[in-house]
């Protein structure tokens, strides 16, 4: 990892803003991935987003592939989403009482994701996975859960065991403050390892409340599940009475309108959502079979609550986003543009003879600086992260804002047109050429 590189010249305002932020916030940020720990140097501060572009406070424009880490599938400042939020705000920002809009968003989710019969809205992906785990334990009366190395499910204590995402890049497999007692109930297995899963169920099947997994991993870079793995997940959980929790916080409404479960024919008991479902405002959701969801308070006894859950602004942004996705069905277009981008990045790397592999599902993809395909955390960990950080900074200099870590997927939005894709491939080619002569 290259920690000595500082922000390139020409960002004096970002530099000053970061110095100010460092005084008042730990690491100068409100979420660690933003601090550029995975690529070294100082983060850029932004002023506004327009479609596929972000503008930093020094007035530089970038084609954005982080997309707020997933939510911005319609690009920034989509007029319908902005109008919906403005209208909602004018009617009052929070009531702490039911609104019809909450049922509308719930109905949109249930229509889109057939395995979800009832849903509870929360404020983040973390809340969704935390609540789904509690519900699975309450429903089954069991304590243990299984997660997979390199999968990230938010900063839930019991899931911060060999965590992926920013924690993976930073080399912090466990967080201080997560108790040994908590982690004892979490079994961490390798992704795509059907045999490992079967072995664990043979040994401890009767204690396992749930298996939680990313149906397409985004948080160690984009990693695609094997058929055998997906089959084992459903078969083992069913035969041992455990619940299968499909964490679609990143993939939901992203890889398809019905999420990764519709692409890979997965039939989970519970699904967690976030990111796109809030259209850029803080929304998460968990849902599944009615029989299970009926255990959530006040229908049942599993406690879960939220002062701002189903907030009118957040709900309005979510509804507006899902309506556009449902009505305009942009997924073929996203597929086509993303495929072109993946092919362009791959041939740019091949031209300069860089060992690489590309993984993509719909509009999420990763160019890995690794000589073999990435299928789990051990293969992801072999990537050349120092090379990735140079590539990242070369691209910043050319007006492309890529994920600031090898272990994050990039996202294409409906606002990324032919011109943006072509410009990105061109910038990547120049950047990789610059790398190969260094």
Ligand X SMILES: *Cc1c(COP(=O)(O)O)cnc(C)c1O
247, 269, 390, 391: the catalytic one is: 247
Residue 129 binds ligand X (CB under 6 A): yes
- Give the shortest CB-13-to-ligand X separation in angstroms: 27
Closest to 349 (Cα-Cα) out of 266, 234, 428, 245:
428
Choice from 99, 115, 118, 124 touching ligand X (CB under 6 A)? 124
Q: Which is nearer to ligand X, 112 or 260 (CB)?
A: 260
Q: Is 421 in the site for ligand X (CB under 6 A)?
A: no
Does residue number 126 form part of the binding site for ligand X (CB under 6 A)?
Answer: yes
CA–CA gap between residue 25 and residue 35 (Å, rounded): 11
Judged by CB under 6 A, which of 121, 249, 255, 296 binds ligand X?
249
**According to the binding rule CB under 6 A, does residue 158 interact with ligand X?**
no
Task: Please tell me whether residue 153 binds ligand X under the rule CB under 6 A.
Answer: yes
Contact window for ligand X (CB under 6 A) among 97-105, 146-154, 177-185, 399-407: 146-154
Distance, in Å, from the CA atom of 318 to the CA atom of 97, rounded to the nearest integer, reads 18
Nearer to ligand X, 126 or 414 (CB): 126
Residue 274 sits in the site that holds ligand X (CB under 6 A): yes
Check residue 252 for interaction with ligand X (CB under 6 A). Answer: no
In the complex with ligand X, the residue whose CB is nearer, 130 or 292, is: 130
Catalytic residue among 53, 64, 193, 275: 275
Among 122, 178, 208, 250, indicate the residue that binds ligand X (CB under 6 A). 250
Q: Judged by CB under 6 A, how many residues of this single chain contact ligand X?
A: 15
Active site residue 247: yes
Which of the stretches 38-46, 57-65, 83-91, 149-157 binds ligand X when contact is defined by CB under 6 A?
149-157
Contact (CB, 8 A) for 241 and 215? no
Nearer to ligand X, 38 or 274 (CB): 274
Closest residue to ligand X, based on beta-carbon distance? 125
Task: Tell me how far, at minimum, the Cβ of 287 lies from ligand X, in Å.
Answer: 15
Catalytic: which of 152, 191, 257, 401?
152
Least CB distance to ligand X at residue 281 (A): 11
Give, in order, the Cα–Cα distances in Å from 319 to each of 55, 231, 281, 282: 27, 33, 11, 13
Q: Is 275 a catalytic residue?
A: yes
Using the rule CB under 6 A, give the single segment among 3-11, 123-131, 261-269, 341-349 that binds ligand X: 123-131
Of residues 56, 102, 193, 214, which one binds ligand X by CB under 6 A?
214
Scan for tokens 């960002």, then name that residue: 11
Q: Which is nearer to ligand X, 211 or 249 (CB)?
A: 249
Closest CB to ligand X among residues 263, 434: 263
- Closest to ligand X by CB, 154 vs 259, is 154
Give CA separation, 202 vs 1, 4, 195, 239, in Å: 40, 48, 10, 11
Asked if 43 interacts with ligand X (CB under 6 A), we say no
Q: Is 152 a catalytic residue?
A: yes
User: Which active-site residues does the annotation give?
Assistant: 152, 247, 275
Chain residues that interact with ligand X, rule: CB under 6 A: 124-126, 129, 152-154, 214, 218-219, 247, 249-250, 274, 284
């Amino acid at each position: 990892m290259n920690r000595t590189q500082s922000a390139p010249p020409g960002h004096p305002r970002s530099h000053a803003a970061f110095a100010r932020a460092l005084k008042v916030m730990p690491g100068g940020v409100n979420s660690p991935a933003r601090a550029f720990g995975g690529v070294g140097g100082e983060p850029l501060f932004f002023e506004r987003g327009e479609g596929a572009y972000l503008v930093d406070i020094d007035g530089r424009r970038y084609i954005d592939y982080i997309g707020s880490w997933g939510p911005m599938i319609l690009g920034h400042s989509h007029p319908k989403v902005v109008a919906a939020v403005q209208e909602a705000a004018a009617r009052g920002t929070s009531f702490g009482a039911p609104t019809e809009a909450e049922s509308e968003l719930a109905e949109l989710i249930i229509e889109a994701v057939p395995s979800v019969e009832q849903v509870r809205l929360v404020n983040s992906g973390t809340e969704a996975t935390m609540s789904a785990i509690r519900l699975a334990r309450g429903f089954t009366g069991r304590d243990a859960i299984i997660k997979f190395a390199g999968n990230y499910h938010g900063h839930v204590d019991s899931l911060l065991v060999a965590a992926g995402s920013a924690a993976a890049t930073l080399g912090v497999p466990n967080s201080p403050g997560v108790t040994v007692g908590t982690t004892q109930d979490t079994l961490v297995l390798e992704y795509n390892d059907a045999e490992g899963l079967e072995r664990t169920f043979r040994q401890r099947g009767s204690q396992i409340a749930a298996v939680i997994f990313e149906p397409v991993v985004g948080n160690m870079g984009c990693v695609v599940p094997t058929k055998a793995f997906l089959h084992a997940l459903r078969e083992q959980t069913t035969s041992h009475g455990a619940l299968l929790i499909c964490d679609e916080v990143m993939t939901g409404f992203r890889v398809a309108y019905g999420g990764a479960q519709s692409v890979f024919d997965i039939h989970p008991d519970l699904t967690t959502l976030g990111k796109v479902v809030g259209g850029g405002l803080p929304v998460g959701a968990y849902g599944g079979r009615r029989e299970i969801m009926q255990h959530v308070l006040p229908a049942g006894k599993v406690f879960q609550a939220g002062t701002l859950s189903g907030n009118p602004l957040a709900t309005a942004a979510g509804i507006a986003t899902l309506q556009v996705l449902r009505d305009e069905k942009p997924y073929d277009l996203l597929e086509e543009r993303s495929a072109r981008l993946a092919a362009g990045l791959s041939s740019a790397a091949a031209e300069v003879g860089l060992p690489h592999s590309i993984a993509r599902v719909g509009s999420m993809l990763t160019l890995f600086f690794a000589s073999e395909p990435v299928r789990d955390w051990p293969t992801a960990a072999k990537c050349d992260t120092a090379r990735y950080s140079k590539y990242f900074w070369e691209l910043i200099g050319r007006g492309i804002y890529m994920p600031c870590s090898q272990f994050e997927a990039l996202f294409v939005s409906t606002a990324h047109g032919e011109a943006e894709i072509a410009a990105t491939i061109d910038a990547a080619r120049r950047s990789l050429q610059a790398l190969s002569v260094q």
